[in-house]
């Protein structure tokens, strides 16, 4: 399974309260109130899915001249159409509104968001810039322009926009969250966490940021802390499909297969068009050997998003596993193209290093795939707290050797090494085997248990640091990691 099959997103989803929105627009239309800015940053700060649980009005902007009743009605229809995903109608309404009030920065900002959602990123960027020209102190527009620039790969420019938004409004939670995402992607974990925490200080019930904090904690190996924040995000926003999917990935790392399956299925129930959740569900089905169901789920993900390399490469591997050679040549051509594109763009490859030997790739490409996956693990280790262990150097007894593996059972590793523990000279060596996987009841596992002087089951120890302390307490002299960079290995 490719590491990238476990997809994780950092954006907020849900359903708006249309009644609240209607009340906002009704106030805007009233002669007794100045026009109000609907905080569209809330509904567009997190990329492609833009439905939110509620609308919070936090900025009041005076726009002259006052809107006529027909203008207010047009804006109302446009906003409500937005939330109902009637994008074409909403675009038409906003364009008509601009004919009536051509200098309205808010309408330009909302129109840009619609263009963004339609995937018309260049047009969205131009429209956001127009909104800023009309209203230079418009933090929402800077924030959302940053999102669009980031989508285009212009990260430095996006970061400048986020900083501009924060200069205008230091408590702009959308921007704090989105700038945190940029810092995280740059590997600046501490800076990202500071920004996320600032966002939560301003808005403790910000589901997206709770989810992002959880994802960062998950990256650091703090899985139980991550679960707390995922659950907070879901409590705040019960229809937060991204949080369910991401929590499923955390439970999967904790080897809670049942919990992970429930989370992925819940995410799909909430958002049937959630390609990442279909892919994550497929990957765990693949893990437990349900290949037919995994194939169906990968195909569902690709129907929703045909340009989904992780799903495609894992689907191709499923087909090879069941010896389905129909369309093989075409699949291989596509995989070679995907790998070449990803290697040229410095992305982590969707093909796992072990799977790369199955495909017609060059040795240079295989080495680069392995190198990038190794770098990923290095980055993960670097995020962990540095702990120094003390070792006794005065032990004059037997040499203590430890073998760590998640494959003590019916797995090729055990097929090949099951006799190794018993072949040591026990007058000179004391053998410890540390299992990261539960007992599968096979003869392979039983033989290793029988022929090891010490067999320790660490499968229920979910904290890597606790497992490390246990091994250290056994005063191991030589520890052999039998997983390397493969699935099931501990950091």
pLDDT at 342: 92
Domain 3-170 top-level CATH class: mainly alpha
b/e for 376-406, b at 16 or more Cβ within 10 A? Answer: eeeeeeebeeeeeeeeeeeeeebebbbbbbb
Burial of 74 (0-12, 13-18, 19+ CB in 10 A): buried
Q: What is the pLDDT of residues 327-354, one digit of tens each?
A: 999 999 999 999 999 998 877 899 999 8
Three-state DSSP class for residue 346: coil
Give the pLDDT of residue 394: 65
Position 387 scores a pLDDT of 72
Q: Can you give the pLDDT at residue 23?
A: 35
The token pair that represents 80 in the structure block = 């409500």
Catalytically annotated residue among 229, 317, 352, 354: 354
- What is the pLDDT at residue 324? 96
460 CB burial (10 A radius; 0-12, 13-18, 19+)? exposed
Tell me how many degrees the CA angle 102-109-212 measures, rounded to the nearest 5.
175
| Positive or negative torsion for Cα 362, 368, 374, 380 | negative
Give, as one character, the DSSP assignment of residue 113: H
Domain residue ranges in the chain: 3-170, 294-383, 399-481
pLDDT (0 to 100) of residue 488: 62
Report which secondary-structure segment, H or E, holds 402: strand 399-405
Topology at the third CATH level for domain 399-481: Rossmann fold (3.40.50)
Task: Record the tokens describing residue 227, joined without a space.
Answer: 């679960």
> pLDDT at position 20, please?
33
Extended beta strands in 84-240, E state: none
Active-site residue, 373 included: no
How many beta carbons lie within 10 A of that of residue 485, not counting itself? 15
Q: How far apart are CA 407 and CA 467, in angstroms?
A: 16
The domain defined by 294-383 folds into: 1.25.40
Ranges in the chain, pLDDT < 50? 1-7, 11-84
Alpha-carbon distance of 16 to 18, in angstroms, equals: 6
Q: In this structure, what are the phi and psi dihedrals at residue 391, rounded to the nearest 5 degrees? A: -125, 140
pLDDT in tens, 235-263: 999 999 999 999 999 999 887 899 999 99
- Would you say the CATH fold of 294-383 matches that of 3-170? yes
DSSP 46: T
């Amino acid at each position: 399974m490719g590491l990238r099959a476990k997809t994780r997103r950092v954006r907020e989803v849900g359903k708006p309260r249309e009644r609240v929105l209607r009340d906002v627009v009704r106030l805007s239309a009233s002669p007794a109130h100045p026009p109000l800015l609907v905080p569209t940053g809330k509904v567009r700060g997190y990329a492609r899915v833009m439905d939110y649980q509620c609308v919070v009005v936090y900025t009041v902007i005076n726009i002259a001249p006052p809107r006529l009743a027909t203008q207010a009605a047009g804006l109302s229809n446009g906003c409500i159409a937005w939330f109902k995903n009637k994008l074409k109608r909403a675009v038409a309404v906003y364009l008509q509104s601009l004919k009536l009030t051509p200098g309205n920065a808010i309408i330009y900002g909302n129109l840009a968001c619609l263009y963004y959602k339609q995937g018309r990123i260049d047009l969205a960027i131009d429209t956001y810039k127009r909104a800023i020209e009309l209203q230079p102190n418009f933090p929402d527009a800077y924030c959302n322009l940053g999102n669009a620039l980031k989508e285009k790969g212009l990260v430095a420019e996006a970061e400048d926009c986020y900083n501009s938004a924060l200069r205008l409004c230091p408590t702009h939670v959308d921007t704090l969250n989105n700038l945190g995402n940029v810092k995280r992607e740059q590997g600046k974990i501490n800076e990202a966490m500071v920004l996320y925490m600032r966002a939560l200080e301003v808005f403790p019930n910000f589901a997206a940021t709770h989810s992002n904090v959880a994802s960062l904690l998950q990256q650091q190996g703090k899985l139980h802390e991550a679960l707390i924040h995922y659950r907070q995000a879901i409590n705040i926003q019960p229809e937060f499909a991204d949080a369910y999917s991401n929590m499923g990935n955390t439970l999967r790392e904790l080897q809670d297969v049942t919990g992970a399956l429930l989370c992925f299925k819940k995410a799909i129930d909430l958002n049937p068009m959630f390609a990442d959740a279909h892919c994550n569900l497929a990957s765990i089905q693949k893990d437990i050997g349900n290949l037919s169901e995994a194939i169906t789920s990968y195909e569902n993900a690709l129907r929703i998003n045909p340009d989904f390399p992780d799903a495609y490469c894992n689907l191709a591997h499923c087909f090879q596993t069941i010896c389905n050679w129909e369309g093989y040549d075409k699949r291989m051509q596509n995989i070679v193209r995907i790998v070449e594109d990803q290697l040229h763009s410095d992305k982590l490859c969707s093909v796992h290093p072990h799977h790369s030997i199955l495909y017609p790739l060059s040795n240079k490409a295989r080495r680069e795939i392995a190198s990038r996956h190794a770098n990923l693990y290095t980055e993960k280790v670097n995020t962990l707290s540095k702990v120094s262990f003390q070792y006794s150097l005065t032990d004059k007894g037997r040499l203590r050797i430890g073998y760590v593996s998640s494959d003590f059972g019916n797995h090729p590793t055990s097929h090949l090494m099951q006799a190794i523990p018993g072949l040591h000279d026990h007058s000179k060596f004391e053998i410890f085997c540390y299992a990261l996987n539960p007992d599968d009841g096979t003869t392979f596992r039983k033989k290793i248990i029988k022929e090891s002087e010490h067999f320790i089951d660490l499968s229920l120890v979910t904290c890597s640091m606790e497992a490390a302390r246990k091994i250290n307490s056994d005063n191991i002299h030589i520890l052999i990691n039998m997983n390397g960079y493969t699935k099931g290995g501990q950091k």
